Amino acid sequence: MGIISEFKEFALKGNFLDLAVGVILGAASGEVVKVLVDKLITPPIGLLLGRVNFNDLKIVLQQGVKSADGKEDVVKEVALGYGSVAQSLISFFLTAFVVFLIVRGYNRFRAKAPPAEQPAQEKLLTEIRDLMKAGAKAP
């Protein structure tokens, strides 16, 4: 089997396509969660903290220096942006919680689905097996 045919088999397998769809949908849902966190969750929290934007929270280690006209940075500011870290953590936990709710709902839906009925052939084979076990035990 040549490398091209192996690659074709790999690329067209159902699992590979399912994974590709999952990655694309994951990226799209990531954008939805990002907007949800940035526009709906973070602003009220910032308001409770005194009208603070999380991304602006930082510890300045060295102040920046601007040029005389104020347009260019002569020396760039050095700061620890802990607000961006907080924003990322909120986004991560919210994403994890949404995924948890989806999986939980799916598992509940799947548990309620009626079990598939055995085909007649399997029922017959099961009965034969059970009869043979019962016959083997009888003296």
The sign of the dihedral angle between the CA atoms of 91, 96, 99, 100 is negative
Q: Is residue 137 part of a domain?
A: no
Residue 44 lies in a domain: yes
We report the CATH number of the domain holding residue 123 as 1.10.1200.120
pTM of the model: 0.49
pLDDT of residue 61: 92
70 Ramachandran zone, left/alpha/beta (phi>0; psi -120 to 50): left
Residue 10 belongs to some domain of the structure: yes
Sign of the CA dihedral with 34 first, then 36, 41, and 43 last: positive
Report the domain count for the chain.
1
Nearest CA-CA partner of 43 in 35, 57, 29, 53: 53
Which of 10-14, 72-76, 82-86 tops mean pLDDT? 82-86
Query: By residue range, what is the domain housing residue 101?
Result: 3-130
Look over the chain and give the mean of its residue pLDDT values, rounded to a whole number. 81
Q: Which of 26-35, 66-75, 126-135: highest mean pLDDT?
A: 126-135
Considering Cα of 61, then 59, then 32, then 11, what sign does the dihedral take? positive
Q: How confident is the model at residue 59 (pLDDT cuts 50, 70, 90)?
A: very high
Give residue-wise pLDDT tens across range 85-98: 887 887 788 778 87
